Structure 1
Amino acid sequence: MKKIQYIILLVIASCISACSSFEEMQLDPNRTTQASPALLLTNIETKAFNEVQLSAGLASRYLVYTDGVSLNQYYGWQRSSYQSYDHLRQVVKLEQEAQRTNQPVYGALAKFFRSYFAIGLTQTFGDIPYTESLKGDEGMFTPAYDKQEDIYLSVLEELKEANQMLATTQESITGDVVYKGDLKKWQKLVNSFTLRVLINLSHKERNTKLGVKQRFQEIVNDPAKFPIFTSNADNASLTFYDLESNRYPYFNNNDMKTAYYMDETFVALLQNLQDPRLPKFADPAPKAANLPAENLAAYGGVKGSETLDVNKARVVAGEASKIASRYYSSPTNEPSIAIGYAEVQFILAEAAAKGWVNANAEEHYKKGIEASMLFYNIPTAAIAAYLNQPEVQLSAGNKLATILTQKYISFFMNSGWQPFYEQRRTGLPAFDVSGDGALNQKRIPKRWMYPESEFNLNRPHVEAAIARQYPDGDNINSIMWILKEE
């Protein structure tokens, strides 16, 4: 009997030893389970600020794709993804590492990036998981969906906290490939982005819970406490280098070289305004090869809503301008702007035109145009001549339309989906859907449907969110809360 007990004890001891050895073997001694906040910051910045997106250019009627049917161009998309939650996981890790290493300045930056990615997600879908999201380490794998109103309120508070933290710290930031550790520039970004968030809420200016106008005025009226962008040097932009994995996203892209042409409506807009940015955006059409590049009559386009065969025929006839060759031939080209000084000036101009702030709408409007043109290296004399044109002036009956049109022009090949969201919010400028290629019954979609994975992994919560928001179900024409007038 004792012999049997002894054998059992040996077996148990062996199991314990084996289990212990197995657990130890799962830990790679060469791979750290902790990360430097600096390394995390660099990775997050490159994901957040690389906002050069051809899909947005097609949907926003800047460009036309001619080698196949693009659902972004023809407004026939359906679902989008939750990829931004992968970036948010890194943001959560940044905040954790900021606490672990006692470097709260990275916690302030984490607040900004959490807000940045969350706004992108809610602009895409409507209600999203927010409060309970990314808490798998706490056993929360099926997060509830927060209402869009509550997400915006939380974001506004987070951004305000981030501004305060940045204003009161003397810590240094390393790993910063955008602002090189300049705390003041980060503070300007936080507040400038807050202005974008607030202008996105223009339909909610009577919402006392959000206090949109009051928050806007608080920032504008106290630049010492809430500094904002004051020049293009403050732009939140990602610079590209002629190094592997650091080049312009569409460098040597074959589709860019052969299949991306200018949208006819965008070319016509620039021609009507005699806009000197057109030669920066496009190459002359083959049909007008005998004209100098500075002659705007040398440019043409095809209609984004027209059928593929019609557009191909016009391309073969030499009527259409390709996107400027620098977008695919230069490894460095121009920085990718996530949010820039020009946009901030147009936001201020719109707010002044609406009476939100006591400011000169025309002054901010013209500063926005100047900032955009300087970014594209337009000579100062040409800028002055452009600003003096009658077609460019603000007048009592066209202030908002003129401001928003110039804002739209300034977004060419930067700022991601922001031009589409602006048009969705304001209806300006009108996006053409007259061609026979337009899908979705010639309607411009209002959103994207939730990812299929959510119905497989988090069905009760995603279905509850759909029922709460969209009486007609989860479809691309449903109107999210932010777009409804109050």
Structure 2
Amino acid sequence: MKLSNKYISKLAAPAFALFFSIGCVEDLKELNNNPNAINDLAYGIQLTNMQLSFTGGAHEIFRTSLGYCFSSIQQMADLESPVSGVFLPGDKYLNDPLFAAAFFEEAYINEYRNIADYVNRTASDPAAVNFHAIGRIWKVMSAHRLTDIYGDVPYFEAGMGYISNQWFPSYDSQEEIYMDMFKELDAAVNSFDSALGGPGNNDILYAGNLEQWKKFGYSLMLRLALRISKANPSEAESWAKKAINGGVMTSNEDLARVTHQVGGHRNPFNAGFNTRDRIRLSATFVNWLKDHGDPRLDIISWVQNGGPHQGLPNGYDNTTIQGYPGGSDINAYSNINPALRQWDSPSLHLTYAEVELMLAEAALKGWHSGSPKEHYEKGVTAAMRQWAIFGVEVPSFGEIETYLKENPFSAEKGMELIGEQYWAATFLVNWEGYAKWRQTGFPKLTPVNYPGNATNGQIPRRMTYSREEYSTNLQNVSQAVSRQGSDDFTTRVWWDKE
């Protein structure tokens, strides 16, 4: 059986060279020594690499994130190109295994090998307590995205090939993964020691600010707690309360983002948005913004031919679109504002706006003593003001106050209103928006039923595993499928209940 490159890191090459040279004569041993090898990689440099790997490259961000997550929850749509075909298979629920598996492939190639090594190395270094705590939180950040997209995935043995020879990792149930992620976050946030050093500017999220890392850890804990609110309400309530009592984000200064640089690590959405000229904002999303008089419409939407804001409806092709206003003229439909898709535009990972909307949800459930209305309004305000980090003009507090009066919160429709605002707030954090939509069912979306679709006209509930797994890790992936359900787009992950 051949070894998959998902589990055998390039960092493991020296170990394999040594293994295969045992039978060689003593004089040849020195040939296995690489004079350019880094034997003691600085923790800070490795942390930077981990954060950039999670932020991603154009490959997986375009394929899984933009190709499926964005379009499945009807924030983006596309028209088939006569030359290149379909850009967003999630727009019409088509089966593209390479697009669906891109996050899976890249996570195990680029993220987990570094995360496993980093967490393992920092665990035994008493001077690296803060590095280790950040690594454990980042491991959860990476794992939760992966399991939310695919369900059961390698977790406990992931990235352990060159540490403990676990070359073919087993798949763990999502329930087990979630329970461990809570424990990891709890241990990590309580282990920070302000008397010890940290990563400083090598930490491209918070520049080593431990208080902000604690807020991030607890905010992530709250996100995960609400995610399992239908699957395990008692555990969800317990962890939500712990997160809130621990201290979550309190302003847009705390939001987790990566700032990119021209000539350095580019914003991964840049290539997808700027080179795929048949992608546009969905009519569902644009119409929701228009119907609510949302000032974010002018921030997010840009129409190339100078016409009015108009989204492209999901599930159409060059023939069926002819009867729709704008027809097949792609430049008549709303594109994403170029100011939001530059090489140096920031990447968002977890925002203060999300946190306030999550607090509104927790309060609505009776898990938090705060006012759902107040948290909702703070969340909407933060979501509108956070666009400032892209260098664009944002709504004034007066404009936001008017918007909230025209779109008031009501407890009777509380979850629907929170779900819709979370959907809007996580635009550009679409993998999270995709997960939250599945958890809450809001906004209420009308599925499309394009000919030849892979879901019988249902919005995809998960992505499918890498095809390579069936040739390199067959036994373990087969056990996961047997436990979780068919490896297709309609199988629900553990926390995704009716």
TM-score by length of 1: 0.85
1:408 to 415, 423, 426: 423
Offset of residue 447 of structure 1: 1.3
2:280 to 246, 257, 261: 261
2:408 to 389, 393, 400: 393
**1:303 and 2:318 equivalent?**
no
Tell me, yes or no, if the aligned pair for 2:219 and 2:243 is still in contact at 8 Å.
no
Give the Cα–Cα distance (whole angstroms) in 2 for the partners of residues 318 and 118 of structure 1. Answer: 38
Q: Show the counterpart of 1:326.
A: 339
Q: Show the counterpart of 2:381.
A: 370
Whichever residue aligns with residue 259 of structure 1, its letter is: R
Give the Cα–Cα distance (whole angstroms) in 2 for the partners of residues 26 and 457 of structure 1. Answer: 27
Q: Which has the larger radius of gyration?
A: 1
Give the Cα–Cα distance (whole angstroms) in 1 for the partners of residues 209 and 135 of structure 2. Answer: 16
2:49 to 43, 49, 57: 43
Q: Secondary structure at the match of 1:145?
A: coil
Q: More displaced, 433-442 or 181-190? A: 433-442
Q: Structure 2 regions of 5+ residues with no counterpart?
A: 1-20, 388-393
2:441 to 422, 427, 430: 427
TM-score by length of 2: 0.83
Report matched runs for 1:55-66 at 5 Å: 55=67, 56-66=69-79
Offset of residue 458 of structure 1: 2.1
Q: Secondary structure at the match of 1:64?
A: strand
**1:199 and 2:217 equivalent?**
no
Offset of residue 265 of structure 1: 1.1
Q: Show the counterpart of 2:32.
A: 26
Q: Show the counterpart of 1:270.
A: 289
Whichever residue aligns with residue 383 of structure 1, its letter is: I
Which runs of structure 1 show a deviation greater than 6 angstroms over 4 or more consecutive aligned residues?
Answer: 15-18
Q: Secondary structure at the match of 2:257?
A: strand
Tell me, yes or no, if the aligned pair for 2:149 and 2:435 is still in contact at 8 Å.
no
Q: Note closer, same or farther for the CA distance 1:25–1:197 as it changes in structure 2 (3 Å cut).
A: same
Whichever residue aligns with residue 219 of structure 1, its letter is: A
Tell me, yes or no, if the aligned pair for 1:200 and 1:425 is still in contact at 8 Å.
yes
Q: Note closer, same or farther for the CA distance 1:231–1:455 as it changes in structure 2 (3 Å cut).
A: same
Tell me, yes or no, if the aligned pair for 1:260 and 1:322 is still in contact at 8 Å.
yes
Tell me, yes or no, if the aligned pair for 1:95 and 1:110 is still in contact at 8 Å.
yes
Tell me, yes or no, if the aligned pair for 2:92 and 2:450 is still in contact at 8 Å.
no
Offset of residue 257 of structure 1: 6.9
Cα deviations across residues 67-119 of structure 1 (Å, max 9, x unaligned)? 33231221223451342123011012212332465412111111111111211
Offset of residue 47 of structure 1: 2.1
Give the Cα–Cα distance (whole angstroms) in 2 for the partners of residues 445 and 418 of structure 1. Answer: 15
1:85 to 90, 108, 119: 108
Whichever residue aligns with residue 107 of structure 1, its letter is: H
Tell me, yes or no, if the aligned pair for 1:129 and 1:143 is still in contact at 8 Å.
yes
Offset of residue 124 of structure 1: 2.0
Q: Note closer, same or farther for the CA distance 1:88–1:384 as it changes in structure 2 (3 Å cut).
A: same
Whichever residue aligns with residue 203 of structure 2, its letter is: D
1:135 to 160, 167, 177: 160
Offset of residue 361 of structure 1: 0.4
Tell me, yes or no, if the aligned pair for 2:260 and 2:266 is still in contact at 8 Å.
yes
Offset of residue 252 of structure 1: 6.6
